[in-house]
Structure 1
Amino acid sequence: MTIALVSEQRYLESRVAYQQAWSKLLANGMTPDQIATLEKKGDVTRANGSFTLLSPQDGTVIRDPFVIGQMVQPGDLLFEITDESSIWVEAHVDPELMRKVSVGAPARILAGNRWIEGKVVQIHHALDETTRTMGVRLEIPNPGDHLHPGQFVSTRIQVGQSGEKALTLPLEAVLRSPDGDWQVFVEKKPGEFEPLEVELVRQLPGIAVIEGLKPGTRVVTRGTFFVQSEMAKSGFAVHNH
């Protein structure tokens, strides 16, 4: 048996060179398993600068801006990969409603003709200077790959307590009276209407949440402004006392 003796200094220099080579291969994109395989085979000719570039996550390549033969530097973008099994949707919300929105609240989006359920995962704190709205980030599952970055959708976010009941009408059904109060037009008899003051609790996209009206009351939901104008022209008071 032959035993080779080396000095401690040479041993330490060899260990440092080994660790530097290992770190360099890791930095160049090789995995620990690939490095271990290369080391086990002991074939230095295989260390020719070629290696398999692996993605750190599953997903779909959406951009590959490099060209074959191009010289690249550390930090250059070669592939852009996104995991579309779930996506983020940025919703724009009226600042007055933000205090009612909370992280974890159920949400859904309308994409095409189908609703997809999700939840609120982040609430931004800066006001958009252009739209004068605040951003809310929703997480939406996308198992069928139906949704894609850059796509516009309609959003709905649940506010208040789960199961909370509210009386709602189309937003165009509620108008300001000459006194400045909110009112709706209720049907007293077929074709006969009179104004009734209500309280506008809050507004949602296309929807008014109100109080002061009994559920089931028949009201004008379309052409409300026309009814108000006709009653004013006929000489009837359009405010209710």
Structure 2
Amino acid sequence: MPQLITAPGEAVVNRYRTSVVTPRVDAQVVKRHVQLGDHVDAGQALVTLSSVAMATAQGALLEADTELRRVKQLGRDVVSEKRFVTAQVAYQQARAQVGAYGMSDRQIDALIRQGDAARADGRFQLLAPQAGTVINDPFVIGQIVAPGYELLRITDESRIWVEARLPVNEAEWIMKDVAAIVTVGDTQLNGKVVQLHHQLDDTTRTRAVHIEVANPDHRLHPGQFVNVVIEGKAQQAQQGIVVPKAAVMRSKDGDWQVFVETAPGRFEAKEVALLRTAGERVMIDGIAPGTTVVARGAFFVQSEIAKGGFEIHNH
């Protein structure tokens, strides 16, 4: 039996598959295109904003584009090299500015192609940086938002993290990429350890471990509590007699015992030492390999023996 560490856990977002959508300039929310819980595709429009700074940048871009087109039409035989370079630099700077403020290349190209000064109204759309589910959208229409304000959070829940916090002595037994089992109700999901935090929690003095779990059916959601079993290092493995947990009972004096078959249908209590528990299995010492033990119904056998003698057939 390998060293198995059990601990409570909590499903959390996979930060490597999560993005936040924020404005880069002061803006006002004009329209929302998605809602909380919606699945979005990469590049999908999420929200329309309006910004005075963006309007100024859009106007400057149209002016720079017009000037660059003019000097290109005149040609290098008519336009000086300095004017040609100046027009190119002004265009690139104006394009870079509207891009830095939040317009995508596709939106910029559409604005230039239309060439309509009335389109330089400061409106632009923020697009989804990845596919996933919208799990946060704390804004309302008409709200003024500052640069860096989190308008939406998107996460890919197909591979989610489970965070378990372990005492330092147990966390030392765990290595990256080892197997783990996450239990949700009656369902067990296979996973593996992807992160071990090096800094302890200031309050609990525990070490966080992140387990990545495939979650195609969205059985796990951030904030959900689960139980985890993590496989320890190979050198921590032990050998012994492994029996179902239900096979081991406490005797009257508090010692651990199992019921062994001495003859067909005849049983007696045998004291054992409990070495380790791993889920629904336990490792014991005190009986020889090949011994037949009661795996189910041990409590019933114990009760009958306590009544003063027990012989049972066909059970």
TM-score, shorter chain, exceeding 0.5: yes
* Aligned-partner residue type, residue 193 of structure 1: A
Residue 182 of structure 2 is aligned to residue 109 of structure 1 = yes
| Equivalences for residues 46-125 of structure 1 within 5 A | 46-125=119-198
In the aligned structure 1, how far is the partner of 2:283 from the partner of 2:139?
A: 54
Is 1:184–1:219's contact at 8 Å kept on the other side of the alignment?
no
CA–CA separation in structure 1 for the residues paired with 2:133 and 2:79: 53
Query: In structure 1, what is the equivalent of residue 20 of structure 2?
Result: none
Alignment length, in residue pairs?
A: 222
Q: Which residue of 1 aligns with 2:245?
A: 170
Instruction: Give the AA of the match of 1:14.
Output: A
Identity of aligned residues (%): 38
RMSD: 3.9
- Provide the residue aligned with 2:293 in structure 1: 218
Cα displacement string for residues 164-220 of structure 1 (whole angstroms, at most 9, x for unaligned residues): 9762553993879x9xxx854454654532424x362x4445654344543444269
What is the match of residue 193 of structure 1?
269
8 Å CA contact 2:261–2:292 kept in 1: the answer is no
Instruction: Show structure 2 runs of 5+ residues with no match.
Output: 1-72, 307-315
Higher relative contact order (CA 8 A, sep 6+): 2
Moved more, 187-196 or 37-46: 187-196
- For 1:187 and 1:86, the matched residues in 2 are separated by 46
Tell me the distance in 2 between the aligned counterparts of 1:142 and 1:74.
34
Contact 1:188–1:194 (CA under 8 A) maintained in structure 2: no
Q: CA deviation at 1:132?
A: 5.5
**Runs of at least 5 residues in structure 1 that lack an aligned partner in the other structure:** 231-241
Any idea what SS the aligned residue of 2:189 has?
strand
Q: Structure 1 residue 114: deviation in Å?
A: 1.5
User: Hey, what does 2:283 align to over in structure 1?
Assistant: 209
Q: Deviations over 1:11-41 (max 9, x none)?
A: 4443333223212221222222222232233
TM-score (norm 1): 0.71
Q: CA separation of 1:199/1:66 partners in 2, compared to 1, >3 Å: closer, same or farther?
A: closer
Cα 1:72/1:199, change in 2 over 3 Å: closer
